[in-house]
Structure 1
Amino acid sequence: MTTSAPLRRRAVGATYNLRDIGDYPAGSGARTRWGRLFRSDAARFADGADLAALSLRTVIDLRDDAEVAALPTGLDTFVPAVLRRPLDPRSLLSALNGDSVDVLGELYVALVRERGPQLARIVADLARPGALPALVHCAAGKDRTGVVIALVLSAIGVPDDVVATDYALTTEYLTPEFFAAVPTESGAGDPADESLRGARAESMAGLLRALAADHGGARAYLVGHGVPDEAIDHLRTALTH
C-alpha cells in the first residue's frame, strides 16, 4: 500500500520527514502522481541544488511568526510562491480532554472544526492552475501538515486506510534525533511530551470518521467552506493519472 523508500522519502535539504504522496489509489483506477505534492517538516535550505529536483512552484508554510523566526527555511529564495498560512493548533490544546487516550486525534478534529476557512484556503491554494508541484510543511510535518494532506487525499478519492497509513509513516522519521536537533521555539513539539509526538494511524482515521459523520466527507467539508467543486476536480486531475 505504501513504501517509505526510495521514492516516498526524499532526502532534500536538512529535512527528516520530506515525503512524496505519489502512487496512492484514488478511485476509478486512478493513482496519485509522483512529484506533484510533497509534505515535510521545516528545514534550512542553504542552496537550491537538491531542491531543484522537486521543481517546486508553491510552498505552503503552516507555521506562525515565532516558529518562522526560530527556523527560517530560505525557501522563498528558490520557490516562486511561498505562502504563509498559519493554523495555530496550540490554542486548541487547552480545550481538549487531557486524559484522552488519543489527544492528537481530538486535536485534529478540533482543527477541522475551528479552522475551516483557513484549511479551505490552503486547499484552494493548491488547486490554483500552475500551483503544482507544491510542498506543504509545518514544523514537524505531522499534525498541521497531516491534516492538510489528509483533506487533500481524501477529497480526491484516496481511501481512508491509505490516508491514515500515509500519516503514520511519520513515525519512521521523527526520531529522538529529530527532536534533539530542532529548537523548542520551532514548534516541532516538546520532546518530553510523548502524547504529542506520536503519529498513530488511528488518530487520522478518527478525523476521517468525524469528517464523514459531520459533513459527509472531506470533499463536502471543503465545498461547505468555500472551495468550488471545480477546484477540487482540477486538483484531482493535477494530482492523479
Structure 2
Amino acid sequence: MSLVNFRDPAVLADPGARWVRPGVLHRSAQPFPAADAAIVEQLRTAGILTVIDLRGDAEADAADWAAARADGVDVVAARIQPTGEALDAAMRAMTTDEDLGAFYLLMAESAPAAVKLAVEAAARPGGLLLHCAAGKDRTGFLTAILLDLLGVPAEEIVADYARTNAALTQIFEGLAERNRNALNDYQAGSLTVPRPLLEAPAGAMAAFLELVNARYGGTEGLLAHCGVDAATVQAFRAKAAAGTAAEQSAEVTA
C-alpha cells in the first residue's frame, strides 16, 4: 500500500512555486504496517533519498523501513520522544488548540539534538520525507519550521498543517491496528486522549508559530537554540528555495 497522508507541501502551500521548490520536501504518516515494494516505488518516484523518522524509541521498528534501506534510501532516526514529565503534564492539562501549539514548542525544546539532526538531514541533497506516527504533530511542527525558513507565509503553513484532517480516520485506524494502546482502542470509541490531539486544528499551528516568534524571534532563533548553525540553515535554503535550480543552471551555463 502507499504512504498515508503523503504530500509535497510545496504543491498545495505554494502552488505558484514562489518560495519552495516542488519535490524537495514531503511529509507522511509512518508506513502501515511497514514499507513494502509499493512504498519503495512511491519514494523512488518522488525522488526521496532521505527519510527522517521523528518517532520515539518505543514507537519505531527497524523493519518499518528495511525495504527502503535495501533500495538505497537513507533513514535518519531523529527521535523526538512524545513523553516525559513536562510533556505528560502538558498533555493532561491540554484543552484548547492553543494548548496543542504550546505542546509542539515544548516537544521541540525537549529534543534539541533530534531537531538539529532532522534539519541537518533535511539539508542533504535530494528529496526528503519527514514522518512521525500520524504525520501530524512532530511532522507538523518540523515541516512548519522548514517552510518558514523558506519564507512561506504563516497562513499557508497553517493551511498545509490542517490538510491532515482529511486523512485522520485512515491514520488512526492504522495506528490502532498497529498499537491499540496508543489510541485507547480508537476502533472501540473509548478515547481519553485530549481532543486537540485527535485533530489537526489550524489554531494549534498558528499558536505554535506565534509562540516561536515571541520566544525566539522566529524559527531561526529556535533552531539556534537547538544547536543548528547558520551554515545548515543556508544549505537547506540553497537546496529548497524556489528558483534555486534555475539560478544554479544559469551559473553553470554563464
Same fold (TM over 0.5): yes
Deviates more, 1:191-200 or 1:205-214: 191-200
Structure 2 counterpart of 1:42, one-letter code? Q
- Unaligned segments of structure 2, at least 5 residues: 243-254
- Unaligned segments of structure 1, at least 5 residues: 1-12
Pair 1:45 & 2:39 matched: no
| Aligned alpha-carbon RMSD (Å) | 2.5
Structure 2 counterpart of 1:101, one-letter code? T
The residue that corresponds to 2:95 in the other structure is: 100
Query: Are residues 65 and 116 of structure 1, via their aligned partners in 2, closer, same or farther at CA, if it must alter by over 3 Å?
Result: closer
- Alpha-carbon distance in 2 for matches of 1:99, 1:188: 17
The residue that corresponds to 2:121 in the other structure is: 125
Structure 2 counterpart of 1:64, one-letter code? G
The residue that corresponds to 1:77 in the other structure is: 70
Q: For each residue in 1:211-237, what CA deviation from the matched residue of structure 2 results, as whole angstroms up to 9, or x when unmatched? A: 101110001221333222232122112
Q: Secondary structure at the match of 1:135?
A: strand
- Alpha-carbon distance in 2 for matches of 1:189, 1:159: 33
Query: Are residues 99 and 86 of structure 1, via their aligned partners in 2, closer, same or farther at CA, if it must alter by over 3 Å?
Result: closer
Query: Are residues 78 and 62 of structure 1, via their aligned partners in 2, closer, same or farther at CA, if it must alter by over 3 Å?
Result: same
Larger Rg: 2
The residue that corresponds to 2:128 in the other structure is: 134
- Alpha-carbon distance in 2 for matches of 1:20, 1:115: 25
* TM-score, normalization by structure 2: 0.79
Pair 1:214 & 2:190 matched: no
Structure 2 counterpart of 1:87, one-letter code? I
Q: Secondary structure at the match of 2:64?
A: coil
Equivalent pair of 1:189/1:197 in contact (CA under 8 Å): no
- Alpha-carbon distance in 1 for matches of 2:106, 2:53: 20
Greater helix share, structure number: 2
Structure 2 counterpart of 1:80, one-letter code? V
In the alignment of these two chains, the number of paired residues is 224
Structure 2 counterpart of 1:126, one-letter code? A
Equivalent pair of 1:59/1:134 in contact (CA under 8 Å): yes
Equivalent pair of 1:68/1:186 in contact (CA under 8 Å): no
Identity %: 30
